[in-house]
Chain A
Amino acid sequence: MLDKVLILSLFFVFCIFDLPLCMYAKANLIDKRLLRMEAETSWTNYPYSYITYVPEAESYREQSDDEAKVETFSMDSLLPDDLLERILSFLPIASIFRAGTVCKRWNEIVSSRRFLCNFSNNSVSQRPWYFMFTTTDDPSGYAYDPIIRKWYSFDLPCIETSNWFVASSCGLVCFMDNDCRNKIYVSNPITKQWRTLIEPPGHKSTDYTAMSTSVNRANQAVNRANRSYSVSIVKSKQVPGNFFQWDLSIHLYSSETMTWTTLVNDVLSGWRGGNESVICNNVLYFMIYSTGGSDHRHGLIASNLSSIGSPSSGILMRSFIPMPCSLTCGRLMNLRERLVIVGGIGKHDRPEVIKGIGIWVLKGKEWVEMAKMPQRFFQGFGEFDEVFASSGTDDLVYIQSYGSPALLTFDMNLKYWRWSQKCPVTKKFPLQLFTGFCFEPRLEIAP
């Protein structure tokens, strides 16, 4: 009680001291814009001192309501637009949407083009999210924000079932259906804008398809909303009647021309393509799997997207890179234009059983081990083959256990492993599987 009396008396002292200035402010109360201009030019004359706002002292404000009501001005009017804009640019995406509903001025600021451009430059506030599918059929699920450590009940545009193919780059997410594999959508899951792509060329039905996308990072000065992007499709189909031979074709879509180009039409012997690919530094990397007759179970092909179309067959195998070791659930990802693979390390005698999970970075043609999951985390991942999903972008790797909604994150910079906040979903039946993918939440990019 005593401290409240003290604060009140201090308050009165300030009031009296600033009385002439109080009158000045009252006269201008109606025209808020004038107040703001005053703030911009000679803000030190502004009579702010009589409202000594201290966060802890909220309770006392109710008591001195009479005094507070005398001058009701908003604190944010102290700031010119560009500074308020700068503060809001530090907010995570969810908070930006909320900020836009505070008042008209804030709404105008977060909706402005200039804000979108500045906001996207501020990479500190945004880190990639992880979307987890929580049912086996419909694509509903939750999106995890690692900064606020919160799961949002989030709806994805375009996708129809949770087994669709997904690829993402710089805020754009591509979805492809898993039936005919000819419906491809490019979307921004945050703004919900989306667009369909025309059907890719190549075999109508395939045994395996790998899809990746890449946003053109060059030319940063260009209006970010109009950045061009590519989508790659690697189609794999067994040559009829021949187990060892597989047709493999690579097709590239460019958003600039809005057309597909077939880059490669090759036949692999003893190898087939799969579902795993990623574009990194304008090179398309995709995993291939042995169909017998090789020491390696699987490997990597690095196909430079700049070299268009090659007539000779057998060209693909020239850029073959073996895996760092016998891996399961190998997943490729682009982390700041470094090619990274996450995989289960197979036991020597039983390669389908994993004894650990590792992360490697490709340097040239060599794999360098970046990290191994510490034992205490690995215990959550069991002993089976396709037991976990992993996805990553920017500098964060997400590893998810198929059998439970547990999600582990690895920060590539800090080399730090951490469980996410627990996902608000429980396993409904023993064989329920959970998968997901990661993407960067961006406001400014459009498909």
Chain B
Amino acid sequence: MSSNKIVLTSSDGESFQVEEVVARKLQIVKHLLEDDCVINEIPLQNVTGNILSIVLEYCKKHVDDVVDDDASEEPKKKKPDDEAKQNLDAWDAEFMKNIDMETIFKLILAANYLNVEGLLGLTCQTVADYIKDKTPEEVRELFNIENDFTHEEEEEAIRKENAWAFEADTKHEDPKP
């Protein structure tokens, strides 16, 4: 595989020239290239330029991932090098920290369409992390979701035996006894 350059064009006409190996992180591109045609420019109709640039930034950083890109059922614990992995995880965390929720949603859609498994997992995990400590009301406020339960339906949804999941956080002292 020669170090070919491929041009990816977004829906709003922005073009990005990247190494073929980076472009291949987008499974949608990888499949196109596998059809043996010589392609130098690929239009990506469902992604805007600003989102595509973020996706490509991720791909460039993760170009050396050992992860098997063919989606397998079991989540693999890749351990090429523990320190390298930790650095990559730290970069991912920093990367997501600077992105607002709405853009993350757009990234999820883009990662899904372009089929970038690592980014899809990362973005979904980020949203999940963001909501995991929130009460249902806080989640509704965050995403502007309307509570379409009737009062009785809501009561039923919070069944008595699951009440533990709705407990408010109690402040704990320092862990060391």
Contacts and interface: CB of A to CB of B under 8 A. Distances in A.
A75 B144 contact: yes
B1 interface: no
Contacts of A76: 143, 145
Contact of A55 (B74, B101, B133): B101
Contacts of B136: 98-99, 101-102
Interface string A62-94: 000000000011111011000100111111111
Interface in B126-177: 127-129, 131-136, 139-140, 142-149, 153-154, 157-158, 161-162, 164-167, 169-170, 172-177
Interface residues of B, number: 55
A51 B149 contact: no
Given A44-B11, A54-B100, A104-B149, A93 B165 contact: yes
Nearest to B141: A58
B125 A406 contact: no
A28 interface: no
A100 B157 contact: yes
Contact of A103 (B11, B120, B145, B173): B145
Contact of B144 (A55, A73, A123): A73
Contacts, number: 150
A106 B140 CA distance: 11
A17 interface: no
Interface stretch (B20-28, B32-40, B87-95, B105-113): B105-113
B166 A150 contact: no
B108 A422 contact: no
Given A83-B108, A103-B147, A103-B149, A98 B164 contact: no
Given A55-B100, A97-B162, A102 B139 contact: yes
Among B105, B135, B158, B170, max chain A CB count under 10 A is at B105
A93 to B, nearest CB: 7
B96 interface: no
Contacts of A54: 100-101
Nearest to A88: B128
Interface of A: 39, 42-44, 48, 51-55, 72-76, 78-79, 83, 86-104, 106-107, 121-125, 143, 148, 150-155, 192, 220, 380, 404, 406, 419-422, 424
